[in-house]
Amino acid sequence: MTPTAHPDAVIEVHRLVKRFGTKMVLRQLEFSVSRGQFVALLGPNGAGKTTLLRILATLSRPTLGEVRVAGFHLPQQAPSVRRMLGVVSHLPLLYGDLSAEDNLRFYARLYDLPSINERVTAVLELVGLASRRRDQVRTYSRGMQQRLAIGRAVLHDPVILLLDEPHTGLDQDASQMLDETLRQVVSGGCTVVMASHDLSRALDLANRFDIIGRGQIIASVTRDHIPNGDLLGYYREVTHA
């Protein structure tokens, strides 16, 4: 199958349903993201944020519905999509007993990157860990591990970045450093979808806010159209409706 021609939407989801046994987590969900947008997915626990991200990341199959990422259909064209995705979750997806350099080199081999050493060095500098490149990852602080996780996610220069609660377990300073790293990474025009509970962090980073509840997108607003500029008030109003 060839990619479908759709010039602007990088992610398109129509009538998406996901069931785990008898439990329906996503119900006829509609969602789309344009190229270069930074979308924050907000919602209470169990709303379906992580499930949606895992489907977009090709880690989970939709039960019903249509999902297209970068023009490729999921799950049929998942291998083509994987090359275009970078994923950061609250887990680092890194081997604690390997050094930062070895972790990145391993993933670079899996992505079949050319000039591995140069790329690994560039990414370590990007996330500010070049001086600790030979240290085992388990000796890193949680904040450093998350920065390295971002480095792993952008190693192959993805066009879409999926972030699932990347600030979980980070203190204020570490969160700020993570945000700075993220801003640097997305300044290149990457499309980002970030699931988060942290509204202030989402407001700092994103330019569109989608609120998910009961397995559907129940509200969507761009930064310029938040009523009274109060995202928290808007979120409360929508989720309690």
Partner 1 sequence: MRENTRFWRSMLAITWKDLALEWRSREILTAMLVFALLVIFIFNYALELTPQTRSEVTAGVLWVTFAFAGTLGLNRSLSVEKDRGCLDGLLLAPVDRSAIYLGKTLANLIFMLVVAAIVLPIYSLLYNTNLFLPGLALVILLGAIGYVAVGTLLSSMAVQARTRDMLLPVLLFPIAIPILLAAVKASSGFLQALPFEEISPWLNLLVVYDVIFISVSFMVFEFVVEE
Stretch that binds partner 1, among 1-9, 50-58, 189-197, 231-239 (CB under 8 A): 50-58
DSSP 139: G
Question: Which residue type, as a one-letter code, is found at position 105?
Answer: R
Work out whether strand 64-69 and strand 9-20 pair parallel, antiparallel, or are unpaired: antiparallel
Pick from 15, 34, 65, 93 the residue near partner 1 by CB under 8 A.
Answer: 93
Assess 152 for contact with partner 1 (CB under 8 A): yes
For the CB of residue 82, give the shortest distance to partner 1 in the complex, in Å.
4
Tell me the longest C-alpha to C-alpha distance in the chain.
53
Pick from 32, 50, 58, 181 the residue near partner 1 by CB under 8 A.
Answer: 58
Assess 97 for contact with partner 1 (CB under 8 A): yes
Handedness of CA 153, 154, 155, 156 (dihedral sign): positive
Assess 22 for contact with partner 1 (CB under 8 A): no
Pick from 44, 46, 96, 188 the residue near partner 1 by CB under 8 A.
Answer: 96
Strand segments, DSSP code E, in 84-189 are: 85-88, 160-164
Which residues have CB under 8 Å from 119's CB, separation 6+? 108, 113, 155
List residues binding partner 1 (CB under 8 A).
54, 57-61, 79-80, 82-83, 85, 87, 89, 91-98, 102, 106-107, 109-112, 136, 152
